[in-house]
Amino acid sequence: MIANRNINLISDPESWQQNAHAEIMAVIIKNKDQITYKALAATANMTGPHKIHRLTSWLEQLMAEDQHNDQPLRAAVVISKASGGLPAPGFFDKAKELGLDFETTDRRASYETYLQTVYASISEL
């Protein structure tokens, strides 16, 4: 798992979404890796209170955008330390709302299979 990487980050506090997007696309998916919510918030140079809440709200918007564009959900690479290598429950709730159901007999296996789809998509994006 990647913690913090040096990529071309924008230092403007209002541009954390661009930084987070750059990290997800340029580093995490390309390297077939995952990143925790906390590490992504730090890498994106997020400041102020409620960083994780703001990050997850943005990730949900990204998920809706991806689904609308018939793309794999890039937010799948962002995981919760507390969930043992899986995204937080909110990811699965939003995915289900968007028509993608991970609620099979083995959520982890279903997620791992989907993650490979996300990694394969980098050449298409």
- pLDDT score recorded for residue 26: 77
Task: Please give the pLDDT value at position 19.
Answer: 81
Q: Residue 6 falls within a domain, yes or no?
A: no
- Asked whether residue 8 is domain-assigned, the answer is no
pLDDT at site 7? 42
Q: What is the pLDDT of residue 15?
A: 82
Domain that holds residue 86: 13-123
Q: Which residues contact 39 (CB under 8 A, 6 or more apart)?
A: 1, 2, 3, 4
Please give the pLDDT value at position 5: 47
Q: Do residues 94 and 60 lie in contact, with contact meaning Cβ atoms separated by under 8 Å?
A: yes
- Domain total of the chain: 1
Q: Say if 1 falls within a structural domain.
A: no
Mode of pairing for the β-strands spanning 35-36 and 78-79:
parallel
In this prediction, residue 123 carries a pLDDT of 61
Residue 3 lies in a domain: no
Give a yes or no: residue 79 inside a domain: yes
Give the residue ranges of the chain where pLDDT is below 50.
1-11, 125
Contact, 119 vs 73, CB < 8 A? no
Q: Provide the 3-class DSSP secondary structure of residue 40.
A: helix
User: Is 40 within a domain?
Assistant: yes
Beta strands in the chain (DSSP E): 35-36, 78-79
